[in-house]
Amino acid sequence: MIPIFMPNTKASIAENTPEGQNAIEARNLTKIYNAQGGGAPKHALKGIDLDIPRGSIFGLLGPNGAGKSTFINILAGLVKKTSGTARIWGFDIDKNPRKSRVSIGVVPQELNIDPFFTPYDLLDLHAGMYGVPKAERRTAEILEALGLTGKAQAYARTLSGGMRRRLLVAKAMVHSPPILVLDEPTAGVDVELRQQLWDYVRTLNTHGATIVLTTHYLEEAQAMCDRIAIINHGAVIACEPTPQLLARISDKRLVIRPAQPLSAVPAALAGLNAERLRDGALAVQYNPADTPVMMLIGRIRDAGIEIADISTEESDLEDVFLQLTAK
Ligand code: ADP
């Protein structure tokens, strides 16, 4: 069992304003990037309103270019917003930049690590940059929590991709922030490491950390997040608990494999939302609330189809996502 590095949620709550029950609050957050090379200015965030509850694992989901990194980078103090407000752990990023910044740790997408530092030195240096006094630095503890003790004194360039990823998580945690943001944490990560990372993130969450992860992998958001916001073209188009988001699409899909492959959808099935699949099977989209599946099967039999096999599919986040982003 790996030791868990605890986020410091208490100190900041104590100093916190009473209204700040959210880990992150954004109001009408806007970002316009200046025009580059004769192009038009880029309206990357178009008035984002978002509440990220404390203690959640929150997914920021959206296609490439949606504005996820811009949002994260504004919170991290790396990109200057054009207008709007944001509070991190109750601290306004304009009025209280230092406190808001120490309340969040961001694990970046890229795996760039200075090759001439050892993991130990890198973390120690980083803690110093955050003003963590020497006596309060937990460098060895963090390295152990992330399984990097054996590499504490190795050159960073000798670390594997998985170790680098973990070192970047460690780096985001040196100041024990109550909020940990992972920007596309599993892009280019193999399945085994992905599982490890997910497990570790869940454990951190059960110990009190609020986790925000950006992803364009629906599977990752569905597996990890208890709440998901979908961002598209710089706007939030949905923000709900994951099960509620999934329930938005109540349609199911029935796939019938006939004894003889179909050459077309039988005329008798006109009026159903049916299509012939490439292999001659029949797929019917239906809503179980108003069309009982047995009735469907009856109609298919009546149309003269001999059924060899039947399967049904639930909608998943991908369906919700496609439906929402298509609008
Ligand atoms: P995501 O993280 O969801 O992929 P980004 O926040 O990186 O999206 O980008 C949002 C939009 O802003 C994109 O159209 C992107 O091209 C543009 N953009 C991002 N960074 C800059 C920049 N520094 N200058 C100009 N445009 C940018």
Angle, helix 191-206 to helix 161-172, in steps of 10 degrees: 20
Residue 39's pLDDT band (boundaries 50, 70, 90)?
Answer: confident
pLDDT at 20: 54
Of all protein residues, the one whose alpha carbon is nearest to atom 22 of ligand 1 is 33
Sequence length of the chain is: 327
Closest residue to atom 16 of ligand 1, CA basis: 65
Q: Is residue 200 part of a domain?
A: yes
5 in any annotated domain: no
Q: What is the pLDDT of residue 268?
A: 93
Same-domain check for residues 97 and 160: yes
46 and 126 co-located in one domain? yes
In-domain check, residue 128: yes
Distance CA 167, CA 173 (A): 10
Distance 44 CA to ligand 1 centre (A): 6
Task: Give residue 249's pLDDT.
Answer: 62
In DSSP terms, 309 is beta-bridged to 257
CA of 107 to the centre of ligand 1 (A): 18
How much is the pLDDT for 4? 54
- For all residues of the chain together, what is the average pLDDT? 86
pLDDT above 80 (res 190) = no
Q: Is residue 316 part of a domain?
A: yes
What percent of the chain is helix, strand and coil (3-state, nearest 5)? 35, 30, 40
164 located within any domain: yes
- Same domain (yes/no): 202, 258: no
- Asked if residue 150 and residue 285 are part of one domain, the reply reads no
Q: Look at 116 and 214; give whichever has higher pLDDT.
A: 214
Count the domains in the chain: 2
Which residue owns the Cα nearest ligand 1 atom 27?
33
Same domain flag for 195 and 257? no
- The pLDDT-based confidence of 298 (bands split at 50, 70, 90) is very high
**What number does the ligand 1 atom closest to the CA of 66 have?**
3
Pick from 246, 274, 289: which residue ends a domain? 246
pLDDT at residue 138 greater than cutoff 60: yes
In a domain, 111, yes or no: yes
Residue having the nearest C-alpha atom to atom 23 of ligand 1: 33
Mean pLDDT for the stretch of residues 262-268: 94
**pLDDT surpasses 50 at 13:** no
Distance 307 CA to ligand 1 centre (A): 51
CA dihedral 15, 21, 26, 28 (to 10 degrees): -110
Task: For ligand 1, atom 24, name the residue with the nearest CA.
Answer: 33
Predicted pLDDT of residue 250 = 64
Span 84-107, mean pLDDT?
Answer: 93
In a shared domain, residues 161 and 230: yes
Q: How many Å apart are CA 27 and CA 265, to the nearest integer?
A: 51
CB contact at 8 A, 167 and 113: yes
Residue 122 shares a structural domain with residue 184: yes
Confidence of residue 245 (pLDDT cuts 50, 70, 90): confident
Domain-ending residue, one of 201, 216, 246? 246
Centroid of ligand 1 to alpha carbon of 87 (angstroms): 22
Which residue has the CA at smallest separation from atom 5 of ligand 1?
A: 67
Which pLDDT value is given to residue 16?
47
Predicted pLDDT at 7: 61
How far does the centroid of ligand 1 lie from the alpha carbon of residue 155, in Å?
33
Residues within a 6 A CB radius of ligand 1: 33, 36, 42, 44, 62, 64-70
Instruction: For a ligand 1 pocket test, name from 70, 72, 236 the mutation site with the most ligand atoms within 8 angstroms of its C-beta.
Output: 70
Asked if 191 and 278 sit in the same domain, the reply is no
Looking at the CA of residue 79, tell me the nearest atom of ligand 1. 23
Q: Given this model, what pLDDT does residue 10 score?
A: 55
241 and 261 belong to one structural domain? no
Q: Are residues 54 and 99 in the same domain?
A: yes
Give 84 Cα–ligand 1 centroid separation in angstroms. 18
Say if CB 293 and CB 286 are below 8 A apart: yes
Distance 178 CA to ligand 1 centre (A): 27
Which structural domain range is residue 287 located in?
252-326
CATH number at residue 283: 3.30.70.100
Clarify whether residues 223 and 155 are in a common domain.
yes
- Residue 166: pLDDT over 50: yes
Asked if the structure places residue 4 within a domain, the reply is no
Q: Which of 60, 1, 81 is nearest to 185 (CA)?
A: 60
Q: Is 121 exposed, middle or buried (0-12, 13-18, 19+ CB in 10 A)?
A: middle
Does the pLDDT value for residue 2 go beyond 50?
no
pLDDT in the model for residue 315: 65
The pTM (predicted TM-score) of the whole model is: 0.78
Q: What is the pLDDT of residue 201?
A: 87
Q: Which amino acid makes up residue 201?
A: V
- Relative to the CA of 71, which ligand 1 atom is closest? 6
CATH of the domain at 56: 3.40.50.300
Percent of the chain scored above 70 by pLDDT? Answer: 91
Identify whether 18 is part of a domain: yes
Per-residue pLDDT reduced to its tens digit, 57-77: 999 998 889 999 999 999 999
- Write down the pLDDT at residue 316: 67
Higher pLDDT pick, 147 / 42: 42
Residues 107 and 217 in one domain: yes
- What is the mean pLDDT of the segment spanning 13-21? 50
Choose the final residue of a domain: 198, 215, 246. Answer: 246
pLDDT score for 6: 58
Does residue 148 contact residue 160 with C-beta atoms inside 8 Å?
no
- The owner of tokens 């990823």 is 165
| Alpha-carbon gap, residue 312 to 57, rounded angstroms | 30
pLDDT at 198: 84
